[in-house]
Chains A and B, each alone.
Chain A
C-alpha cells in the first residue's frame, strides 16, 4: 500500500506544482473547496457532530468565507489542527484560512508573517471557583491552589497578576482541559484558570453548575480572530470583509430571516451596498455582487451565529459582554461598507 500511495501522491504533487503560482482565490475557486483550519475540538467554537459535520463559532467563519467565495457554505474541507501544527499548516498552504480561536499577538502577526483579518471573539483569562470558597474577587485568592495549563500564556498571565497584587498561589500543573475539569472537581485545586469562554463551557458541564462561579476579574486580553498568510492582499481582504459583513449585518438589522427581503432593495443605501444591489463592492473584491448575501445566508449575522453556538440560549451560556455591537457597549465594530 505504501508504494502505491507514494506514487499517487508524487503524481498529484507534480500536477499541483504546476498551478501553485496562482492566487489563493484562484486556487480555492479551482479546487471548488475552501481548506479551513479549525481546532481538533473546542466546545462551542468547533466540533464535529455525530454525522461528521463541523459546527461552532469558528466553523461559521469558515462557512461564511466559503459561501462568499464559492457560493456554498458547505464547500469547506475542515482540517483539524492542534496548537502546535496550526501555524505551519497555514504557512505551508495546507489550509487557506485558519479560524482556530487564535489570539492576535504582535509576534504572530509580524514575526510569523500572518495577517489577522479581524477579531471575532474578545476573550480574556478568568477564574472559576466554588461558591462555598467564599471569595468574590480574584484579589482575595491569597494562598489558593490554582489549576493551570502548562506552557501557555495563561501561566505567565497568572504569575503576573498574583505578583502585581502581592499575593501568593500554589500552581497545580495540568495538561488538558479535560484533566483540569477532573482535578478541579476532585478538589485538587481551589481555582481553575483559563480563557473565560472555556471556563464557562467547563462550568456548563458540571452536575451542579450553580455551586460554581466565575470571578469578575479578567486578567488578560485574548482577542481571537481568523488569520491568513501574508502576501495575498486580495485573499486577506476577502476574509476580512466577510467577517465585517457578518458584523455589519447585525448592526444594520439584516438577519437570516429577512435576508431575502432585504436583498430586493431597501431605503438604506448601506444595506443595499452590502447586499450588492447598489455599487460594485463585490467586483472590487473579485467576487460576485451578492457575495455578502451568501455569507450571511449560511447561518445569519454575527449575533445569530453567537447566539446559536455560544450564546445564552446554549449550555455554554456566554453573555455578549465585550462581544456586543459597539452600539450596545461592546467592541464589535465594522468599518463602513462604502
Chain B
C-alpha cells in the first residue's frame, strides 16, 4: 500500500443534497417573516384572526347577495347580503350620467381615442407621429362629447396657427412686435373671425353631430373629463409658473409668485363656488357660460399652482453645476431648459407630479357640492329614488372601486416611468 493510495482528501464530490426542509421554500419564508420570534408569532396569529373575522363578516355580505330586484325592499326579501341590483340598474348612470343612451358610443369612442392620444406621451415605444393626433384630440374629443359643428372647435384650434403665422411674419422685422402681435392675432381671431368663418364652413360642409348640453353630463365620464383636462393642462402651466417663479424678470416673477400663493392659499371648494356662483353675478344676465368649462378652468388653475411648486422642488434639487454647464455650452435659456434642466428636474419630480394628478382626479368629486352630478352626487340622487332609499355601502363600494382602478393605474405608471428613467446614480 503506497502512500499515494492513502488519501485524506475525497477525490470525488458528494452528490448535492436537498437543503433541509426548514431552510427552503414556504417553510423558511414563513419562519423568517411571520414566526421569527414569540412576539412576531403572537402578532401573526392575532392578525390572521382579525383577517378571518373581517372576511367572515364581509364575504357572506358580498356573495349572499342579489343582482335581480327592483327595489331595496325586494332585495331584502331575496337575500340578506348586499343589494347589487342597484348597481345593475344604475351603472349606466354612474358611468355616463344623463348622456342620451343612443349617443353613448360617442363617450366610449372619445375615451378610446383619449387612450390613443395619451399613448405617445406615456410610452416611448409608440410611433412619434401619433403626437399630431394628440395635439388634435382636444378638438376631436370636445366635438364628440358635446356635438354641434366640428368647424367651431376646429377654427378655435386654427387660432394658434394664425398666431404662429403672424409671429413668424413679423419676427424678421421686430422681435418685440412679433411677441405682442402673435397672441393679439389669436385673440382677435377668436373674438371676431372664428365664429363667422366656422359658420361659413358649416354652411358648406356641415360636419354636425347632435349637440348634447352640459347638463346631461355626469358620473365617471364627468370625473374623467374634468380630471384628464385638468391634468393635461396643469402640467405645462405648472412648468411655466415654476420657471416664472425663478425668473430674473421682476414682473414675471411677481405675477407667478402672486398667482401660486393666492391659489394655494384658497381651498378648491372656494374656487368652485366662485366658478358656480360668483361668476354668474359678473356676467351679463342670461349668459350661459358653461358650468363644466368653469369648473375645468378652476380645477386646472388650482392644480397648476401645486404643480408649479412640485416642479420648483425638482429644479431646486438640481446641482448648480447643471445650470452652469448648460451656460458653458452656450445654450440659450429655452434650449438649456429643454435639453438639460427640465428632463432632470421632471424626473426627480415624478412621484410628486403623479401624486398631484391623483389628488386632482379625486378632487373632482368636490363638484357634487356645486350641484354637478359626479359619481358621488349621483349616489345621493340614486338614494333619493324611493326604490333605493337606504342603500349606502353598495354604491360607495362601486364608486370606490372605480376610483381605485384609475388612481392605482396612475400610480403603477409612475413606478414604471421611474424604473425606466433610472440612470443608476443612486
Contact = CB atoms under 8 A, between A and B. Distances in A.
Co-assembled chains A and B: yes
Interface of A: 1-13, 16-17, 19-20, 27, 39-52, 56, 77-82, 84-85, 88-89, 91-94, 176, 178, 181-182, 201-202, 204-207, 314-316
B300 interface: yes
Contacts of A48: 93, 98, 381-382, 385
Contact of A315 (B284, B286, B386): B386
A207 B89 contact: no
Interface string B272-307: 010011001101111111101100110010000000
B384 A47 contact: yes
Contact of B215 (A11, A13, A77, A93): A77
A292 B286 CA distance: 28
B288 A1 contact: no
A52 B229 contact: no
A151 B135 CA distance: 48
A93 B289 CA distance: 12
B373 A178 contact: no
A40 B287 contact: no
B288 A16 contact: yes
Contact of B390 (A79, A89, A205): A205
Interface of B: 72-73, 76, 89-90, 92-93, 97-98, 101, 138-139, 141-142, 146, 148, 152-153, 156-157, 159, 190-191, 194-195, 213, 215-216, 229, 233, 273, 276-277, 280-281, 283-290, 292-293, 296-297, 300, 368-373, 377, 380-386, 389-390, 392
A201 B190 CA distance: 52
Contact of A47 (B98, B190, B381): B381
B282 to A, nearest CB: 10
23 contacts: A1-B139, A2-B138, A2-B296, A4-B142, A5-B293, A7-B153, A7-B194, A8-B148, A8-B152, A43-B384, A43-B385, A47-B381, A50-B92, A82-B371, A93-B280, A178-B383, A181-B392, A202-B390, A204-B386, A204-B389, A205-B390, A314-B386, A316-B386
Contacts of A16: 284, 286-288
A42 B389 CA distance: 9
Nearest to A18: B286
A50 B288 contact: no
Contacts of B285: 20, 92-93
Contacts of B389: 43, 201-202, 204-205, 315
A93 B148 CA distance: 24
Given A11-B195, A85-B277, A178-B392, A17 B286 contact: yes
A207 B213 CA distance: 40
Nearest to B290: A9
A6 B293 contact: yes
Nearest to B276: A85
A42 B382 CA distance: 9
Contacts of A20: 284-287
A9 to B, nearest CB: 5
A2 B236 CA distance: 14
Of residues A1, A13, A91, A202, which shows the largest number of chain B Cβ atoms within 10 Å of its Cβ?
A1
A74 to B, nearest CB: 14
A13 B152 contact: no
Contacts of A51: 101
A39 B90 contact: no
A207 B76 contact: yes
Contact of B373 (A40, A85, A207): A40
Of residues B159, B215, B288, which shows the largest number of chain A Cβ atoms within 10 Å of its Cβ?
B288
Given A12-B288, A88-B277, A52 B370 contact: no
Contact of A40 (B195, B233, B277, B380): B380
B384 A7 contact: no
Nearest to B386: A315
A27 B285 CA distance: 11
Given A43-B386, A80-B377, A82-B371, A13 B157 contact: no
A65 B381 CA distance: 23
Given A13-B284, A50-B89, 12 more contacts: A4-B138, A5-B293, A6-B297, A8-B152, A8-B153, A20-B286, A56-B384, A84-B370, A94-B280, A201-B389, A202-B390, A205-B390
B155 to A, nearest CB: 8
Contact of B369 (A10, A19, A84): A84
Of residues B281, B289, B373, which shows the largest number of chain A Cβ atoms within 10 Å of its Cβ?
B289
